[in-house]
């Protein structure tokens, strides 16, 4: 798996965590082995891996519909999470 693919997976994982912690009126828990996909018009703050460190975006970004949201276990252990 390429580094770019790993970054996309990690980013999607963090997006899920951000959505879960955003105070939504309803929270749906997804089992460990069941990834989710982003729906239409999703925007949120996300973490990005920059020079080996996770940095939270200052602004919300639009996350493309169809991107996968996965738990941290889908990312290699050497990628430190915030």
Question: DSSP string spanning 53-77?
Answer: EEEE-SS-EEEPTT-EE--GGGS-T
pLDDT for the residue numbered 50: 86
Q: Identify whether 56 is part of a domain.
A: yes
Q: Identify whether 50 is part of a domain.
A: yes
The pTM (predicted TM-score) of the whole model is 0.49
- What is the Cα–Cα distance from 23 to 20, expressed in whole angstroms? 7
pLDDT, tens digit only, all 82 positions of the chain: 566 666 677 777 766 666 555 554 455 555 677 788 889 999 989 888 888 888 899 999 999 999 888 777 776 666 565 6
pLDDT for the residue numbered 58: 92
Q: Identify whether 36 is part of a domain.
A: yes
For 27, the domain range is 3-74
Q: Identify whether 81 is part of a domain.
A: no
Question: With contact defined as beta carbons under 8 Å apart, do 48 and 54 qualify?
Answer: yes
Q: Identify whether 7 is part of a domain.
A: yes
Q: How many domains does the chain have?
A: 1
Q: Identify whether 59 is part of a domain.
A: yes
pLDDT for the residue numbered 25: 47
pLDDT for the residue numbered 52: 80
Q: Identify whether 25 is part of a domain.
A: yes
């Amino acid at each position: 798996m390429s580094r770019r693919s790993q970054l996309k997976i990690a980013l999607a994982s963090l997006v899920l965590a951000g959505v879960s912690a955003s105070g939504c009126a309803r929270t749906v828990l997804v089992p460990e082995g069941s990834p989710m996909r982003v729906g239409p018009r999703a925007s949120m703050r996300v973490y990005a891996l920059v020079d080996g460190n996770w940095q939270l975006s200052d602004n919300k970004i639009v996350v493309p519909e169809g991107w996968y949201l996965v738990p941290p276990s889908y990312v290699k252990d050497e990628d430190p999470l915030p």
